[in-house]
Structure 1
Amino acid sequence: MEELVRVETHGSLALVALNRPEKRNALNPLMLQQLHQHLLQLSQDPTVHVIILYGEGAGFCAGADLALLEQARKENNFQAFSEAEELLQECVKLLATCPKITMAAMHGFVLGSGLDLALACDLRVAAAGTQIAANNVRLGLVPDGGATWALPRLIGLGPAMAMLLSGDPVEAEGAYRLGLIHKRVHAGRHLEEAAAWGGELARCCWGAHAAIKRLARVDPRLTLEAALKEEREAQKRLFEDGLPSRSAGRTPS
């Protein structure tokens, strides 16, 4: 089986690579299945404390595989698209709720579903020049991996609405000022810096980290589960209404 997600462990750190560089790490069902399996295993591994997600090649992740989207639309088969969407949401929930510290080490481009994965992580590191965009709207769709829930809570409603409604990219420096990322680092050092930070965190009390993460994720107004369900319903309606062409409004990387 093709290794679309690769895992290396270094002591208490697990490095999880999105490994489809020839497709800009675009997410397809097999890739999401592998990611989910690895995350599930790592979440249960007592020797792992920090999980670092990163992308091979030119960028972190370009989002969903548009070929899958176009084929599903051509065949009027929302079910095929929905299955991939469900896998994405399961990965998001694991990153957000597993008892490990999860961290996104980002470079190049972080688009659409790639942003959903990054937002699900507890911490985010980005290299200079990284382009971050919730560009789903440019395909006539809504985010379906939690961005409508996570972005307003992370950076405030105003900046979040600007990102969600426009699909415009924000570079690493601007993302840092917004609070979207925690550290911006020199180009090419995103993984090294994330691993160094993860190593520092792993020296702290693991039980306390798990408890803090669980408590900090509680929201009295709307749960992530409820938000994910709402996104899937909205996505289905938009899909059935028809999608614009692939070339319309593509976000630059």
Structure 2
Amino acid sequence: MTVDIASPDLPLLTYASGVATIRLNRPAFSNWVRDEDLRWMLSTFLVLDADPSVKVVVLTANTAGQGRPVFCGGYEITEANPRADDALFTSTAAALAQMRPVTLCALSGSVYGPALDLVLACDLRVAASGTAIHLPMEMSPLHSDAFYARTVRHLGIDGAKRAFLSGSAITTEELKARGVFEGVVRPDAFEGYVGTLARQIAALEPCTTQSIKQALDTTAFS
């Protein structure tokens, strides 16, 4: 597989034994995603989707050097991009949700604002303990209808209202109890747990996992 890389700050792509790992790579800036990251991710999703050797896609983040690990601080809005491209972010989450391989979000730090949409768009989610979800109200203009729908589907209407309207953080331990996360693991065991789970999924018969995934998605969205 070939993916063009134009900047050292773009996400990193690694591949081994059927598992492709995409790692957000701006730890000094809380891994805020920019338009160039989203375009890179969209093109990478297409490459991975078309490669039959890819059975699992892991979405994670580089949190090296961070005092409090942050998986993604949100969608960066700058003076050069004051409104941001809402449609681009929404399209990226939609493309992730529709991928052929099984997608696994390895939440290595807390997540803020619309970045939660990328987390919920994955098929499975694992978090490092001590991480949380934050949905500050001032970021609400970037929340698409699809994001609201995905949040309600995973958190339930009461959980979604609490997340959006109270401004209070929700711990991943609480979300695991709701079934949103497959596991919440100590930071020192996190990488090993994610690797084992990804390899376990990759070892399954791909035609079977893809047909089950499609059937479940059809049921959930019907």
TM-score range, shorter chain: 0.7 to 0.9
Q: Is the 8 A contact 2:114 2:142 kept in 1?
A: no
The answer to whether residue 32 in structure 2 is matched with residue 21 in structure 1 is no
2:19 & 2:109 partners in 1: Cα distance?
23
1:196 & 1:221 partners in 2: Cα distance?
30
Contiguous gaps of at least 5 residues in structure 1: 223-253
Identical positions, percent: 26
1:220 & 1:53 partners in 2: Cα distance?
22
Secondary structure of 1:141's partner? helix
Change (3 A) 1:145 1:60: farther
Q: Deviations over 1:16-73 (max 9, x none)?
A: 101111211101111111111112111111111000000112321111113x2x5544
Secondary structure of 1:198's partner? helix
**One-letter amino acid of the counterpart of residue 207, structure 2:** G
The corresponding residue for 2:17 is 11
Secondary structure of 1:102's partner? strand
The corresponding residue for 2:133 is 132
The corresponding residue for 2:7 is 2
Change (3 A) 1:27 1:50: same
The corresponding residue for 1:55 is 61
Structure 1 residue 161, shift from structure 2 partner? 1.4
Change (3 A) 1:56 1:221: closer
Secondary structure of 1:181's partner? coil
1:7 & 1:145 partners in 2: Cα distance?
30
The corresponding residue for 1:234 is none
The corresponding residue for 2:180 is 180
The corresponding residue for 1:101 is 102
Q: Is the 8 A contact 2:116 2:133 kept in 1?
A: yes
Most deviating of 181-190 and 144-153 = 144-153
The corresponding residue for 1:246 is none
Secondary structure of 1:159's partner? helix
Secondary structure of 1:218's partner? helix
**One-letter amino acid of the counterpart of residue 7, structure 2:** E
The answer to whether residue 122 in structure 2 is matched with residue 116 in structure 1 is no
Taking structure 1 as the reference length, the TM-score comes to 0.77
Structure 1 residue 142, shift from structure 2 partner? 5.0
The answer to whether residue 217 in structure 2 is matched with residue 217 in structure 1 is yes
Q: Deviations over 1:196-247 (max 9, x none)?
A: 101111111211211122222226877xxxxxxxxxxxxxxxxxxxxxxxxx
Which of 36, 40, 46 is residue 42 of structure 2 equivalent to?
Answer: 36
Most deviating of 202-211 and 142-151 = 142-151
Structure 1 residue 138, shift from structure 2 partner? 3.1
Structure 1 residue 143, shift from structure 2 partner? 1.7
The answer to whether residue 169 in structure 2 is matched with residue 169 in structure 1 is yes
Change (3 A) 1:220 1:101: closer
1:100 & 1:140 partners in 2: Cα distance?
30
User: Across the two proteins, how many residue pairs are aligned to each other?
Assistant: 211
Secondary structure of 2:218's partner? coil
Q: Is the 8 A contact 1:102 1:123 kept in 2?
A: yes
